Amino acid sequence: MSARGLVCVVLAAGSGTRMVSSTPKVMHQLAGRTLLGHVMATASSLDTQGVYVVLRHQKELIGEYLSQSFPAAIQVEQDEISGTGRAVEVSLSKIPANFDGDVLVISGDVPLMDVETLEALIQTHRSGKASATILTAVLDDPTGYGRIVRASDGQVAKIVEQLDANPDELEIQEINAGVYIFDAAHLRQALSHLQSHNAQGERYLTDAAALLVEDRNPVMAEIVSDNWLVHGINDRAQLSEVAKELNSRLCKAWQLSGVTILDPDSTWIDVQVTIGQDAVIHPATHLRGLTSIGANAEIGPSVVIENSTVQDFAKVGPFAYLRAGTDLGTNGKIGSFVETKNAKIGKGSKVPHLSYVGDAEIGEESNIGAGTIFANYDGVNKHSSKIGSFVRTGSHNVFVAPISIGDGAYTAAGTVVRKDVAPGELGMNVAPQRNIADWVISKRPGTKSSEAASKSKTK
Ligand code: UD1
Ligand code: CA
Protein backbone atom coordinates (compact mmCIF):
# COMPACT_ATOMS: atom_id res chain seq x y z
CA MET A 1 0.00 0.00 0.00
CA SER A 2 1.17 3.57 -0.67
CA ALA A 3 2.98 5.67 1.92
CA ARG A 4 -0.13 7.80 2.48
CA GLY A 5 -1.09 7.91 6.16
CA LEU A 6 -4.08 6.04 7.60
CA VAL A 7 -5.83 6.28 10.95
CA CYS A 8 -8.85 4.30 12.02
CA VAL A 9 -11.78 5.56 14.07
CA VAL A 10 -14.07 3.01 15.75
CA LEU A 11 -17.45 4.32 16.90
CA ALA A 12 -18.53 2.89 20.25
CA ALA A 13 -20.06 5.81 22.19
CA GLY A 14 -23.73 5.11 21.52
CA SER A 15 -25.99 3.74 24.24
CA GLY A 16 -27.40 0.89 22.16
CA THR A 17 -30.95 1.57 23.36
CA ARG A 18 -32.43 -1.13 21.13
CA MET A 19 -30.53 -3.86 23.00
CA VAL A 20 -32.60 -3.02 26.13
CA SER A 21 -29.61 -3.96 28.28
CA SER A 22 -27.55 -2.75 31.21
CA THR A 23 -24.53 -4.00 29.25
CA PRO A 24 -23.42 -1.55 26.55
CA LYS A 25 -24.23 -2.88 23.09
CA VAL A 26 -20.63 -3.18 21.90
CA MET A 27 -19.81 -5.29 24.98
CA HIS A 28 -22.32 -8.01 24.10
CA GLN A 29 -20.72 -11.34 23.24
CA LEU A 30 -20.54 -12.94 19.81
CA ALA A 31 -18.62 -16.21 19.38
CA GLY A 32 -16.48 -15.63 22.44
CA ARG A 33 -15.61 -12.00 21.81
CA THR A 34 -17.38 -8.72 22.40
CA LEU A 35 -18.84 -6.99 19.33
CA LEU A 36 -16.21 -4.29 19.83
CA GLY A 37 -13.52 -6.97 20.16
CA HIS A 38 -14.36 -8.29 16.69
CA VAL A 39 -14.08 -4.82 15.16
CA MET A 40 -10.91 -4.04 17.13
CA ALA A 41 -9.24 -7.31 16.10
CA THR A 42 -9.91 -6.38 12.46
CA ALA A 43 -8.92 -2.69 12.81
CA SER A 44 -5.76 -3.64 14.70
CA SER A 45 -4.53 -5.87 11.91
CA LEU A 46 -4.54 -2.97 9.42
CA ASP A 47 -1.39 -0.94 8.95
CA THR A 48 -2.43 2.36 10.60
CA GLN A 49 -0.93 5.23 12.59
CA GLY A 50 -3.48 4.63 15.31
CA VAL A 51 -6.86 3.12 16.12
CA TYR A 52 -9.03 5.73 17.90
CA VAL A 53 -12.06 4.41 19.77
CA VAL A 54 -14.82 6.88 20.63
CA LEU A 55 -16.53 6.20 23.97
CA ARG A 56 -19.17 7.87 26.11
CA HIS A 57 -21.94 5.54 27.30
CA GLN A 58 -20.41 3.40 30.10
CA LYS A 59 -16.98 4.57 29.06
CA GLU A 60 -15.26 3.25 32.22
CA LEU A 61 -16.38 -0.31 31.57
CA ILE A 62 -15.51 -0.27 27.88
CA GLY A 63 -12.29 1.68 28.51
CA GLU A 64 -11.12 -0.91 31.04
CA TYR A 65 -11.82 -3.71 28.56
CA LEU A 66 -9.91 -1.91 25.81
CA SER A 67 -6.93 -1.22 28.09
CA GLN A 68 -6.70 -4.93 28.82
CA SER A 69 -7.50 -6.44 25.45
CA PHE A 70 -6.35 -3.75 23.00
CA PRO A 71 -3.83 -1.61 24.92
CA ALA A 72 -2.59 0.13 21.76
CA ALA A 73 -6.02 1.66 21.08
CA ILE A 74 -6.38 5.38 21.74
CA GLN A 75 -9.54 6.13 23.72
CA VAL A 76 -11.43 9.33 22.90
CA GLU A 77 -14.37 10.62 24.91
CA GLN A 78 -17.39 11.98 23.06
CA ASP A 79 -19.05 14.99 24.71
CA GLU A 80 -22.79 15.42 25.30
CA ILE A 81 -23.45 16.28 21.65
CA SER A 82 -24.92 13.20 19.99
CA GLY A 83 -24.42 11.59 16.64
CA THR A 84 -21.93 9.60 14.63
CA GLY A 85 -20.67 12.85 13.04
CA ARG A 86 -19.87 14.32 16.44
CA ALA A 87 -18.14 11.07 17.42
CA VAL A 88 -15.78 11.36 14.46
CA GLU A 89 -15.30 15.10 15.07
CA VAL A 90 -14.04 14.57 18.64
CA SER A 91 -11.68 11.83 17.52
CA LEU A 92 -10.28 14.12 14.81
CA SER A 93 -9.42 16.64 17.51
CA LYS A 94 -7.08 14.00 19.01
CA ILE A 95 -5.43 13.10 15.71
CA PRO A 96 -2.30 15.21 15.08
CA ALA A 97 -3.37 18.44 13.30
CA ASN A 98 -0.79 17.96 10.53
CA PHE A 99 -2.13 14.49 9.66
CA ASP A 100 -3.09 14.65 5.99
CA GLY A 101 -3.78 11.01 5.15
CA ASP A 102 -7.04 9.03 5.21
CA VAL A 103 -9.45 8.36 8.04
CA LEU A 104 -11.16 4.96 8.04
CA VAL A 105 -14.36 4.96 10.11
CA ILE A 106 -15.92 1.71 11.35
CA SER A 107 -19.00 1.27 13.55
CA GLY A 108 -18.41 -0.78 16.67
CA ASP A 109 -21.57 -2.78 15.92
CA VAL A 110 -20.59 -4.27 12.54
CA PRO A 111 -18.67 -7.30 13.84
CA LEU A 112 -18.24 -9.44 10.72
CA MET A 113 -16.37 -6.73 8.78
CA ASP A 114 -13.07 -8.21 7.62
CA VAL A 115 -9.59 -6.98 6.74
CA GLU A 116 -9.84 -7.91 3.04
CA THR A 117 -12.96 -5.78 2.58
CA LEU A 118 -11.37 -2.81 4.36
CA GLU A 119 -8.20 -3.12 2.29
CA ALA A 120 -10.28 -3.20 -0.90
CA LEU A 121 -12.15 -0.08 0.29
CA ILE A 122 -8.87 1.75 0.94
CA GLN A 123 -7.62 0.69 -2.48
CA THR A 124 -10.76 1.91 -4.30
CA HIS A 125 -10.69 5.20 -2.41
CA ARG A 126 -7.05 5.91 -3.17
CA SER A 127 -7.04 4.83 -6.78
CA GLY A 128 -10.24 6.84 -7.39
CA LYS A 129 -8.77 9.89 -5.61
CA ALA A 130 -12.09 10.31 -3.81
CA SER A 131 -12.73 12.64 -0.88
CA ALA A 132 -14.84 9.89 0.67
CA THR A 133 -15.66 6.29 -0.20
CA ILE A 134 -18.62 4.59 1.45
CA LEU A 135 -18.96 0.84 1.87
CA THR A 136 -22.46 -0.13 0.73
CA ALA A 137 -24.56 -3.24 0.21
CA VAL A 138 -27.71 -4.00 -1.75
CA LEU A 139 -30.18 -5.73 0.59
CA ASP A 140 -33.52 -7.43 -0.03
CA ASP A 141 -34.70 -5.86 3.20
CA PRO A 142 -32.92 -2.53 3.80
CA THR A 143 -35.09 -1.61 6.81
CA GLY A 144 -33.24 0.33 9.50
CA TYR A 145 -30.19 1.27 7.47
CA GLY A 146 -29.28 4.62 5.91
CA ARG A 147 -30.07 4.57 2.15
CA ILE A 148 -27.61 5.59 -0.57
CA VAL A 149 -29.26 8.20 -2.81
CA ARG A 150 -27.61 8.39 -6.21
CA ALA A 151 -27.93 11.20 -8.77
CA SER A 152 -29.21 10.54 -12.32
CA ASP A 153 -25.60 9.98 -13.46
CA GLY A 154 -25.25 7.19 -10.87
CA GLN A 155 -22.91 9.15 -8.60
CA VAL A 156 -23.53 9.17 -4.84
CA ALA A 157 -25.57 12.27 -3.92
CA LYS A 158 -26.32 11.72 -0.24
CA ILE A 159 -27.16 9.24 2.50
CA VAL A 160 -30.61 9.45 4.04
CA GLU A 161 -31.44 7.79 7.34
CA GLN A 162 -34.46 5.48 7.63
CA LEU A 163 -36.27 7.92 9.95
CA ASP A 164 -35.68 10.88 7.61
CA ALA A 165 -36.39 9.13 4.30
CA ASN A 166 -39.38 9.87 2.07
CA PRO A 167 -41.39 6.95 0.59
CA ASP A 168 -39.30 6.89 -2.61
CA GLU A 169 -36.06 6.85 -0.64
CA LEU A 170 -37.36 4.03 1.55
CA GLU A 171 -37.62 1.90 -1.62
CA ILE A 172 -33.85 2.21 -2.18
CA GLN A 173 -32.13 -1.10 -1.48
CA GLU A 174 -28.55 0.15 -1.45
CA ILE A 175 -27.58 0.85 2.17
CA ASN A 176 -24.76 2.51 4.09
CA ALA A 177 -22.74 -0.16 5.89
CA GLY A 178 -21.45 2.28 8.50
CA VAL A 179 -17.88 1.85 7.19
CA TYR A 180 -16.22 4.71 5.28
CA ILE A 181 -12.88 6.18 4.37
CA PHE A 182 -12.35 9.95 4.12
CA ASP A 183 -9.54 12.24 3.12
CA ALA A 184 -8.71 13.84 6.51
CA ALA A 185 -8.73 17.48 5.28
CA HIS A 186 -12.06 17.10 3.48
CA LEU A 187 -13.54 15.29 6.47
CA ARG A 188 -12.53 18.08 8.87
CA GLN A 189 -14.13 20.62 6.57
CA ALA A 190 -17.38 18.67 6.15
CA LEU A 191 -17.77 17.92 9.86
CA SER A 192 -17.46 21.60 10.74
CA HIS A 193 -20.65 22.19 8.72
CA LEU A 194 -22.79 19.37 10.13
CA GLN A 195 -26.27 20.32 11.36
CA SER A 196 -28.71 18.33 13.46
CA HIS A 197 -31.95 19.10 11.61
CA ASN A 198 -33.12 15.50 11.46
CA ALA A 199 -35.55 13.10 13.12
CA GLN A 200 -33.08 12.21 15.89
CA GLY A 201 -31.67 15.73 16.41
CA GLU A 202 -28.16 14.30 16.03
CA ARG A 203 -25.07 15.28 14.05
CA TYR A 204 -24.96 12.50 11.50
CA LEU A 205 -21.66 11.45 9.95
CA THR A 206 -23.72 10.38 6.97
CA ASP A 207 -24.51 14.05 6.15
CA ALA A 208 -20.81 14.53 5.37
CA ALA A 209 -21.46 12.75 2.04
CA ALA A 210 -23.90 15.40 0.74
CA LEU A 211 -21.70 18.25 2.04
CA LEU A 212 -18.70 16.89 0.14
CA VAL A 213 -20.75 16.38 -3.04
CA GLU A 214 -22.08 19.98 -2.81
CA ASP A 215 -18.47 21.19 -2.70
CA ARG A 216 -17.81 19.09 -5.84
CA ASN A 217 -15.55 16.64 -4.05
CA PRO A 218 -15.98 13.15 -5.47
CA VAL A 219 -17.71 10.66 -3.16
CA MET A 220 -17.57 7.02 -4.20
CA ALA A 221 -19.30 3.85 -3.08
CA GLU A 222 -17.86 0.36 -2.91
CA ILE A 223 -20.56 -2.32 -2.96
CA VAL A 224 -19.80 -5.48 -0.99
CA SER A 225 -20.86 -8.81 -2.43
CA ASP A 226 -21.10 -10.62 0.89
CA ASN A 227 -23.89 -8.82 2.74
CA TRP A 228 -23.24 -10.56 6.05
CA LEU A 229 -19.99 -8.61 6.41
CA VAL A 230 -21.92 -5.37 6.87
CA HIS A 231 -24.74 -6.71 9.03
CA GLY A 232 -25.15 -4.18 11.87
CA ILE A 233 -26.31 -5.26 15.32
CA ASN A 234 -28.88 -3.03 16.96
CA ASP A 235 -31.01 -5.53 18.86
CA ARG A 236 -30.78 -9.06 20.21
CA ALA A 237 -32.62 -10.61 17.28
CA GLN A 238 -29.91 -9.30 14.95
CA LEU A 239 -27.27 -10.51 17.43
CA SER A 240 -28.52 -14.09 17.22
CA GLU A 241 -28.85 -13.93 13.41
CA VAL A 242 -25.24 -12.82 13.06
CA ALA A 243 -24.08 -15.35 15.68
CA LYS A 244 -25.72 -18.16 13.74
CA GLU A 245 -24.17 -17.10 10.46
CA LEU A 246 -20.71 -16.65 11.97
CA ASN A 247 -20.97 -20.05 13.66
CA SER A 248 -21.97 -21.78 10.47
CA ARG A 249 -19.00 -20.17 8.68
CA LEU A 250 -16.62 -21.25 11.46
CA CYS A 251 -17.96 -24.83 11.39
CA LYS A 252 -17.65 -24.97 7.61
CA ALA A 253 -14.05 -23.69 7.76
CA TRP A 254 -13.15 -26.37 10.33
CA GLN A 255 -14.87 -29.06 8.26
CA LEU A 256 -12.87 -28.01 5.20
CA SER A 257 -9.68 -28.20 7.25
CA GLY A 258 -10.33 -31.83 8.19
CA VAL A 259 -12.52 -31.77 11.29
CA THR A 260 -15.67 -33.93 11.40
CA ILE A 261 -18.59 -31.87 12.73
CA LEU A 262 -21.68 -34.05 12.65
CA ASP A 263 -24.23 -31.30 13.22
CA PRO A 264 -23.07 -27.71 12.68
CA ASP A 265 -26.56 -26.46 13.61
CA SER A 266 -26.14 -27.60 17.21
CA THR A 267 -22.36 -27.12 17.50
CA TRP A 268 -21.09 -23.73 18.69
CA ILE A 269 -17.46 -22.81 18.18
CA ASP A 270 -15.92 -19.51 19.32
CA VAL A 271 -13.60 -17.59 17.01
CA GLN A 272 -10.42 -18.24 18.99
CA VAL A 273 -10.86 -22.02 19.25
CA THR A 274 -8.40 -24.27 17.40
CA ILE A 275 -9.13 -27.89 16.35
CA GLY A 276 -6.71 -30.49 15.03
CA GLN A 277 -7.19 -32.64 11.95
CA ASP A 278 -9.47 -35.68 12.20
CA ALA A 279 -11.01 -34.54 15.46
CA VAL A 280 -14.69 -35.52 15.70
CA ILE A 281 -17.20 -33.10 17.21
CA HIS A 282 -20.56 -34.64 18.08
CA PRO A 283 -23.83 -32.66 18.27
CA ALA A 284 -24.72 -30.14 20.99
CA THR A 285 -21.09 -29.35 21.76
CA HIS A 286 -19.94 -25.85 22.74
CA LEU A 287 -16.25 -24.98 22.38
CA ARG A 288 -15.66 -21.65 24.06
CA GLY A 289 -12.95 -19.04 24.51
CA LEU A 290 -9.29 -20.00 24.14
CA THR A 291 -9.96 -23.71 23.76
CA SER A 292 -7.73 -26.02 21.79
CA ILE A 293 -8.76 -29.49 20.62
CA GLY A 294 -6.04 -31.87 19.46
CA ALA A 295 -5.90 -34.01 16.35
CA ASN A 296 -8.05 -37.16 16.42
CA ALA A 297 -9.75 -36.10 19.64
CA GLU A 298 -13.43 -36.99 20.02
CA ILE A 299 -15.76 -34.54 21.75
CA GLY A 300 -19.42 -34.90 22.70
CA PRO A 301 -22.27 -35.21 22.28
CA SER A 302 -23.51 -32.55 24.73
CA VAL A 303 -20.18 -31.24 25.98
CA VAL A 304 -19.20 -27.70 27.03
CA ILE A 305 -15.48 -26.81 27.01
CA GLU A 306 -14.26 -23.37 28.13
CA ASN A 307 -10.70 -22.02 27.92
CA SER A 308 -9.22 -25.51 28.05
CA THR A 309 -6.95 -27.87 26.14
CA VAL A 310 -7.78 -31.38 24.96
CA GLN A 311 -4.73 -33.16 23.55
CA ASP A 312 -4.55 -35.53 20.58
CA PHE A 313 -6.63 -38.73 20.68
CA ALA A 314 -8.35 -37.73 23.94
CA LYS A 315 -12.09 -38.32 24.43
CA VAL A 316 -14.57 -36.08 26.20
CA GLY A 317 -18.21 -36.81 26.95
CA PRO A 318 -20.97 -37.43 26.39
CA PHE A 319 -22.34 -34.87 28.90
CA ALA A 320 -19.18 -33.29 30.31
CA TYR A 321 -18.31 -29.74 31.39
CA LEU A 322 -14.66 -28.69 31.15
CA ARG A 323 -14.20 -25.32 32.81
CA ALA A 324 -11.25 -22.95 32.50
CA GLY A 325 -7.79 -24.40 32.89
CA THR A 326 -8.54 -28.04 32.14
CA ASP A 327 -5.75 -29.78 30.25
CA LEU A 328 -6.59 -33.34 29.21
CA GLY A 329 -3.51 -35.27 28.06
CA THR A 330 -3.04 -37.38 24.94
CA ASN A 331 -5.31 -40.43 24.95
CA GLY A 332 -6.97 -39.23 28.14
CA LYS A 333 -10.66 -39.47 28.86
CA ILE A 334 -13.21 -37.32 30.64
CA GLY A 335 -16.46 -39.24 30.59
CA SER A 336 -20.12 -38.69 31.26
CA PHE A 337 -21.40 -36.32 33.95
CA VAL A 338 -17.91 -35.11 34.85
CA GLU A 339 -17.04 -31.48 35.62
CA THR A 340 -13.45 -30.29 35.71
CA LYS A 341 -11.80 -26.95 36.49
CA ASN A 342 -8.13 -25.98 36.62
CA ALA A 343 -7.23 -29.65 36.30
CA LYS A 344 -4.26 -31.16 34.54
CA ILE A 345 -5.04 -34.75 33.64
CA GLY A 346 -2.00 -36.56 32.31
CA LYS A 347 -1.44 -38.69 29.27
CA GLY A 348 -3.72 -41.74 29.16
CA SER A 349 -5.44 -40.88 32.45
CA LYS A 350 -9.19 -41.28 32.78
CA VAL A 351 -11.99 -39.72 34.77
CA PRO A 352 -14.78 -41.75 33.23
CA HIS A 353 -17.93 -41.19 35.32
CA LEU A 354 -19.90 -38.82 37.56
CA SER A 355 -17.05 -36.83 39.09
CA TYR A 356 -15.83 -33.32 39.95
CA VAL A 357 -12.13 -32.60 39.48
CA GLY A 358 -11.18 -29.09 40.60
CA ASP A 359 -7.70 -27.62 41.23
CA ALA A 360 -5.98 -30.95 40.67
CA GLU A 361 -3.06 -32.51 38.90
CA ILE A 362 -3.31 -36.14 37.87
CA GLY A 363 -0.26 -37.92 36.47
CA GLU A 364 -0.15 -40.39 33.57
CA GLU A 365 -2.18 -43.58 33.07
CA SER A 366 -4.19 -43.13 36.28
CA ASN A 367 -7.87 -43.99 36.68
CA ILE A 368 -10.24 -42.06 38.89
CA GLY A 369 -13.13 -44.17 40.22
CA ALA A 370 -16.75 -43.38 39.47
CA GLY A 371 -18.43 -40.72 41.56
CA THR A 372 -15.25 -39.07 42.86
CA ILE A 373 -15.19 -35.53 44.22
CA PHE A 374 -12.09 -33.42 44.62
CA ALA A 375 -13.11 -31.31 47.62
CA ASN A 376 -11.01 -28.28 46.78
CA TYR A 377 -12.80 -25.73 48.97
CA ASP A 378 -12.88 -25.78 52.76
CA GLY A 379 -15.44 -23.01 52.94
CA VAL A 380 -12.76 -20.32 53.15
CA ASN A 381 -9.87 -21.22 50.86
CA LYS A 382 -9.26 -23.32 47.77
CA HIS A 383 -6.59 -26.03 47.91
CA SER A 384 -5.10 -28.33 45.30
CA SER A 385 -4.74 -32.08 45.00
CA LYS A 386 -2.02 -34.13 43.39
CA ILE A 387 -2.59 -37.66 42.15
CA GLY A 388 0.46 -39.50 40.82
CA SER A 389 0.84 -41.74 37.78
CA PHE A 390 -0.55 -45.30 37.53
CA VAL A 391 -2.93 -44.64 40.42
CA ARG A 392 -6.24 -46.52 40.80
CA THR A 393 -8.77 -44.78 42.99
CA GLY A 394 -11.90 -46.52 44.25
CA SER A 395 -15.46 -45.49 43.47
CA HIS A 396 -17.12 -42.75 45.47
CA ASN A 397 -14.00 -41.21 46.96
CA VAL A 398 -13.67 -37.68 48.29
CA PHE A 399 -10.17 -36.20 48.10
CA VAL A 400 -10.02 -33.51 50.76
CA ALA A 401 -7.46 -31.00 49.47
CA PRO A 402 -4.65 -30.29 50.04
CA ILE A 403 -3.79 -33.93 49.43
CA SER A 404 -1.22 -36.00 47.59
CA ILE A 405 -1.54 -39.58 46.34
CA GLY A 406 1.73 -41.22 45.32
CA ASP A 407 2.49 -43.06 42.07
CA GLY A 408 0.95 -46.51 41.83
CA ALA A 409 -1.19 -46.01 44.96
CA TYR A 410 -4.75 -47.30 45.44
CA THR A 411 -7.72 -46.06 47.41
CA ALA A 412 -10.66 -48.15 48.57
CA ALA A 413 -14.24 -47.55 47.49
CA GLY A 414 -16.17 -45.04 49.56
CA THR A 415 -13.10 -43.51 51.19
CA VAL A 416 -12.94 -39.89 52.33
CA VAL A 417 -9.23 -39.38 51.80
CA ARG A 418 -7.94 -36.80 54.28
CA LYS A 419 -4.29 -37.88 54.55
CA ASP A 420 -1.64 -38.32 51.90
CA VAL A 421 -1.19 -41.83 50.50
CA ALA A 422 2.41 -42.91 49.84
CA PRO A 423 3.45 -44.43 46.48
CA GLY A 424 2.22 -47.98 46.07
CA GLU A 425 0.11 -47.92 49.27
CA LEU A 426 -3.59 -48.54 49.73
CA GLY A 427 -5.54 -45.65 51.24
CA MET A 428 -8.71 -46.52 53.11
CA ASN A 429 -10.68 -45.20 56.05
CA VAL A 430 -8.16 -42.48 56.64
CA ALA A 431 -10.92 -40.17 57.82
CA PRO A 432 -10.59 -39.18 61.51
CA GLN A 433 -12.72 -41.47 63.66
CA ARG A 434 -15.57 -39.37 65.03
CA ASN A 435 -19.06 -40.19 66.06
CA ILE A 436 -22.06 -38.40 64.56
CA ALA A 437 -22.53 -36.18 67.67
CA ASP A 438 -18.92 -34.92 67.37
CA TRP A 439 -19.48 -34.09 63.78
CA VAL A 440 -22.65 -32.10 64.42
CA ILE A 441 -21.11 -29.86 67.09
CA SER A 442 -17.77 -29.21 65.39
CA LYS A 443 -18.64 -26.07 63.48
CA ARG A 444 -16.43 -23.73 61.58
CA PRO A 445 -15.63 -20.60 63.63
CA GLY A 446 -18.03 -17.78 62.84
CA THR A 447 -21.05 -19.96 62.00
CA LYS A 448 -24.23 -20.22 64.07
CA SER A 449 -24.11 -22.53 67.12
CA SER A 450 -25.49 -26.02 66.52
CA GLU A 451 -28.35 -25.27 68.92
CA ALA A 452 -29.36 -22.14 67.03
CA ALA A 453 -28.95 -24.01 63.76
CA SER A 454 -31.20 -26.89 64.82
CA LYS A 455 -33.82 -24.47 66.17
CA SER A 456 -33.94 -22.57 62.91
CA LYS A 457 -34.32 -25.86 61.01
CA THR A 458 -37.33 -26.97 63.05
CA LYS A 459 -39.21 -23.75 62.25
C1 UD1 B 1 -25.75 4.05 11.28
C2 UD1 B 1 -25.78 4.99 10.09
C3 UD1 B 1 -26.62 4.33 8.99
C4 UD1 B 1 -26.03 2.99 8.61
C5 UD1 B 1 -25.87 2.09 9.85
C6 UD1 B 1 -25.05 0.88 9.49
C7 UD1 B 1 -25.61 7.27 10.97
C8 UD1 B 1 -26.34 8.51 11.28
N9 UD1 B 1 -26.33 6.24 10.47
O10 UD1 B 1 -27.09 3.92 11.74
O11 UD1 B 1 -26.63 5.18 7.85
O12 UD1 B 1 -26.84 2.36 7.66
O13 UD1 B 1 -25.17 2.79 10.90
O14 UD1 B 1 -24.97 -0.06 10.53
O15 UD1 B 1 -24.41 7.22 11.13
N16 UD1 B 1 -22.20 6.09 17.97
C17 UD1 B 1 -21.30 6.93 18.60
N18 UD1 B 1 -21.74 8.15 19.03
C19 UD1 B 1 -23.03 8.56 18.86
C20 UD1 B 1 -23.93 7.70 18.19
C21 UD1 B 1 -23.49 6.47 17.75
O22 UD1 B 1 -20.14 6.58 18.77
O23 UD1 B 1 -23.35 9.69 19.29
C24 UD1 B 1 -21.73 4.75 17.54
C25 UD1 B 1 -22.55 3.61 18.11
O26 UD1 B 1 -21.99 3.18 19.32
C27 UD1 B 1 -22.46 2.56 17.01
C28 UD1 B 1 -22.25 3.35 15.75
O29 UD1 B 1 -21.87 4.67 16.14
O30 UD1 B 1 -21.35 1.70 17.20
C31 UD1 B 1 -23.52 3.43 14.90
O32 UD1 B 1 -24.57 3.99 15.68
P33 UD1 B 1 -26.05 3.44 15.61
O34 UD1 B 1 -26.87 4.24 16.55
O35 UD1 B 1 -26.07 1.99 15.73
O36 UD1 B 1 -26.41 3.88 14.12
P37 UD1 B 1 -27.49 3.23 13.15
O38 UD1 B 1 -28.83 3.75 13.50
O39 UD1 B 1 -27.31 1.78 13.07
CA1 CA C 1 -26.07 0.32 14.14
Q: What is the mean pLDDT of each run of 10 residues along the chain (459 residues)?
A: 85 95 97 98 97 98 98 97 96 93 98 98 97 98 97 97 98 98 97 95 97 97 97 97 98 98 98 98 98 99 99 98 98 98 98 98 98 95 97 97 97 94 87 55 53 47
457: CB partners within 8 A, 6+ apart: none
137 lines ligand 1 (CB under 6 A): no
310 lines ligand 1 (CB under 6 A): no
Quote the CA–CA distance of 38 and 140 in Å, as a whole number: 25
For ligand 1, the distance from its centroid to the CA atom of residue 235, given in whole angstroms, is 13
52 lines ligand 1 (CB under 6 A): no
204: CB partners within 8 A, 6+ apart: 83, 84, 85, 159, 161, 194, 196, 198
For position 15, what pLDDT does the model report?
87
For position 3, what pLDDT does the model report?
77
For position 343, what pLDDT does the model report?
98
For position 212, what pLDDT does the model report?
98
Smallest CA separation from ligand 1 atom 1, residue: 178
For position 453, what pLDDT does the model report?
47
Annotated catalytic residue, options 38, 186, 231, 353: 353
For position 31, what pLDDT does the model report?
98
Quote the CA–CA distance of 192 and 195 in Å, as a whole number: 9
For position 398, what pLDDT does the model report?
97
For position 318, what pLDDT does the model report?
98
206 lines ligand 1 (CB under 6 A): yes
For ligand 1, the distance from its centroid to the CA atom of residue 309, given in whole angstroms, is 39
**What's the mean per-residue pLDDT of the chain?**
94
C-beta separation of 400 from 416 below 8 A: yes
For ligand 2, the distance from its centroid to the CA atom of residue 178, given in whole angstroms, is 8
Smallest CA separation from ligand 1 atom 35, residue: 234
| Ligand 1, pocket-test mutation among 52, 107, 211, most atoms within 8 A of CB | 107
Smallest CA separation from ligand 1 atom 25, residue: 14
Q: Which ligand is nearest to the CA of 12?
A: 1
pTM of the model: 0.91
Quote the CA–CA distance of 268 and 398 in Å, as a whole number: 34
Q: Which ligand is nearest to the CA of 112?
A: 1
Smallest CA separation from ligand 1 atom 29, residue: 11
159 lines ligand 1 (CB under 6 A): yes
353 in active site: yes
Question: How many Cβ atoms from other residues are within 10 Å of residue 160's Cβ?
Answer: 23
